[in-house]
Amino acid sequence: MRRLLATLLAPCLALSLAAPVAAADDSKVKVALDTSLGKIVLQLDQDKAPLTVASFLSYVDDGFYDGTVFHRVIPSFMIQGGGFDQQHQQKQTKAPVKNEANNGLRNVRGSIAMARTSDPHSATAQFFINTVNNRSLDHTSPTPNGWGYTVFGQVVEGMDVIDRISATRTGQGRLNGHPAPDVPVLPILINSARRVPVPGMPAEPEPAKQPK
């Protein structure tokens, strides 16, 4: 099974001060995640992370995230999802995207970033949302230990939902049939992921239904 967020990274246990949700910018693309615990709206930064945003939106437009779960939750660190179905089987993904973590965006509370393996350029569909400031995940140098994790947007609505997900009970579970820690005991479902219509622009078409 592919490694998810690098397992050698220890959770940041220092809680950040409560920060207000970032202000929405109507000029930027937004995606709404309808989860089993409420709605989360993400504002994506196409200027700072164009390749990552394009890849993420391709999964959104394909309906890939519909029916996936948040499969890894670590309090005072992050929540991770976007790669496993409700049976905790990993979904097939597209080609990986180049690491853009040197774009100046930081892994602060409320930011969304790409999960990856130990290969800096291995991110595909899985993402995580930082629940505290995780500066140890930021880019420091173009080296195996310094590449960091690409931030490509931020939460503009639903931090209360993210905090509820972060507080959910977790334990030893199984991903792709393999033992895995930090798996929510009760599945936290992403019912759908959709672009938020831009005022004055036609709505995006609904994604085609995925074959079962």
35-57 pLDDT per residue, tens? 999 999 999 999 999 999 999 99
In a domain, 91, yes or no: yes
In a domain, 143, yes or no: yes
Q: 145 or 200: whose pLDDT is higher? A: 145
Nearest CA to 79 out of 70, 88, 87 is that of 70
User: Is the pLDDT confidence value at 11 over 80?
Assistant: no
Q: What does the pLDDT read at residue 194?
A: 98
Query: Mean pLDDT score of the chain, rounded to an integer?
Result: 88
Q: What does the pLDDT read at residue 6?
A: 41
User: Is the pLDDT confidence value at 122 over 70?
Assistant: yes
In a domain, 188, yes or no: yes
Angstrom distances, CA of residue 8 to CA of 3, 50, 61, 101, 113:
10, 28, 33, 18, 17
Question: How many domains does the chain fold into?
Answer: 1
Residue 210: exposed, middle, or buried by beta-carbon count in 10 A (0-12, 13-18, 19+)? exposed
Through-space distance between the first and last CA atoms of the chain, rounded to whole angstroms: 22
Nearest CA to 161 out of 57, 33, 24, 18 is that of 33
φ/ψ of residue 40, rounded to 5: -125, 130
In a domain, 122, yes or no: yes
Angstrom distances, CA of residue 109 to CA of 18, 168, 194:
9, 18, 23
Q: Which residues contact 143 (CB under 8 A, 6 or more apart)?
A: none
> Residue 158's domain spans which residues?
30-195
Q: Measure the CA–CA gap between 102 and 119, rounded to whole angstroms.
A: 15
In a domain, 66, yes or no: yes
In a domain, 80, yes or no: yes
Q: Which residues contact 78 (CB under 8 A, 6 or more apart)?
A: 5, 128, 129, 130, 131, 134
Contact 51, 98 (CB under 8 A): yes
Q: Which residues contact 205 (CB under 8 A, 6 or more apart)?
A: none
User: Is the pLDDT confidence value at 4 over 50?
Assistant: no
Question: Of 3-12, 15-24, 89-98, 202-211, which range is least confident?
Answer: 3-12
- What is the arithmetic mean of pLDDT over 167-181? 96
In a domain, 204, yes or no: no
Q: What does the pLDDT read at residue 207?
A: 60
Q: 24 or 163: whose pLDDT is higher? A: 163
User: Is the pLDDT confidence value at 71 over 70?
Assistant: yes
SS3 125: coil
CATH of the domain at 66: 2.40.100.10
Instruction: At 39, list the tokens.
Output: 């709605």
Q: What does the pLDDT read at residue 144?
A: 87
pTM summary value: 0.86
In a domain, 201, yes or no: no
The band of 203, judged by pLDDT with boundaries at 50, 70 and 90, is low
Please tell me what DSSP assigns to residue 135. Answer: G
